[in-house]
């Protein structure tokens, strides 16, 4: 039986609300830089579409990522720096024969990357087993990143699209008011002019840069895993040759 997720249901009702807001008559509204009807159409339309398209808590992760960037606490970047620091500590502990420290990282490493590397060293994985373990790690990283990248790509595409929706709705109201000689032109013009502006700003100033940033971080994470796999393999070979 077909089931609709809670996210999808919420997104559907948000889109219904966007349709109702776009149909409201704004009356004698002066045109300024901010017009809440236009903002609601663009932001609500994009948010509703994301909730329908994305699974799980990826929408929340996207918001958390964005808040981290603007607050100066980029969680993914900080995690990558910590991974590189712990990898150096792991390599040093292995070379110095501190096996207890390596075993501790198997269970209490701060990231899957460090735990997998420590476990591979302890188990002395080689060949196919080592490749399989790190391929699984790469797959987990991609599963974490790709839905959010896709979400920000959607923001870049949908922002201008919902801006056009607001513009068309505003133009319909403008022509209707002109035909009725009501003189209520300000609100319709505000919606028509500003909706496209908000949509373009949302797509080009937020969606595109965030998608590019996550793609770059994904590449850095995967490069780190590649380097880590080579270092683990070299450490195991060195240990076996003693």
Which residues have CB under 8 Å from 6's CB, separation 6+?
none
- For residue 118, pLDDT over 90 is answered with no
Segment 39-47 mean pLDDT? 92
pLDDT at residue 4 in the model: 55
pLDDT of the residue at 46: 94
pLDDT above 90: percentage of residues in the chain = 30
% of the chain with per-residue pLDDT over 70: 90
pLDDT of residue 86: 84
Q: Which of 35-44, 146-155, 179-188 has the lowest mean pLDDT?
A: 179-188
Record the pTM: 0.83
Quick one: average pLDDT of 86-106? 84
What pLDDT does residue 1 have? 41
Give 178-202 pLDDT, tens digit per residue: 766 665 666 677 777 888 889 999 9
2, pLDDT greater than 50 = no
Q: Which two tokens stand for residue 150?
A: 């896709």
Q: If you average pLDDT over every residue of the chain, what do you get? A: 84
Residue with the larger pLDDT of the pair 11 and 127 = 11
């Amino acid at each position: 039986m077909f089931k609709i997720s809670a996210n999808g249901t919420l997104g559907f009702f948000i889109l219904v609300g966007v349709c109702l807001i776009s149909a409201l008559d704004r009356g004698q509204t002066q045109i300024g830089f901010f017009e809440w009807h236009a903002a609601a159409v663009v932001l609500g339309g994009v948010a509703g579409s994301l909730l329908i398209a994305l699974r799980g808590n990826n929408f929340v992760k996207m918001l958390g990522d964005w808040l981290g960037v603007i607050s100066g606490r980029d969680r993914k970047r900080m995690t990558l720096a910590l991974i590189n620091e712990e990898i150096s500590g792991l390599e040093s502990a292995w070379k110095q024969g501190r096996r207890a420290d390596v075993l501790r990282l198997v269970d209490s490493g701060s990231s899957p990357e460090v735990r997998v590397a420590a476990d591979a060293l302890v188990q002395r994985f080689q060949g196919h087993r080592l490749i399989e373990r790190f391929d699984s790690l790469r797959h987990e990283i991609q599963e974490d990143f790709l839905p959010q990248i896709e979400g920000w790509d959607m923001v870049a595409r949908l922002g201008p699209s919902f801006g056009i929706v607001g513009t068309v709705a505003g133009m319909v109201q403008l022509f209707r008011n002109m035909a009725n000689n009501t003189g209520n032109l300000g609100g319709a013009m505000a919606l028509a002019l500003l909706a496209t502006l908000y949509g373009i700003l949302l797509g080009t100033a937020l969606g595109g840069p965030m998608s590019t940033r996550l793609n770059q971080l994904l590449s850095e994470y995967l490069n780190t895993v590649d380097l880590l796999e080579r270092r683990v393999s070299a450490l195991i070979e060195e240990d076996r040759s003693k």
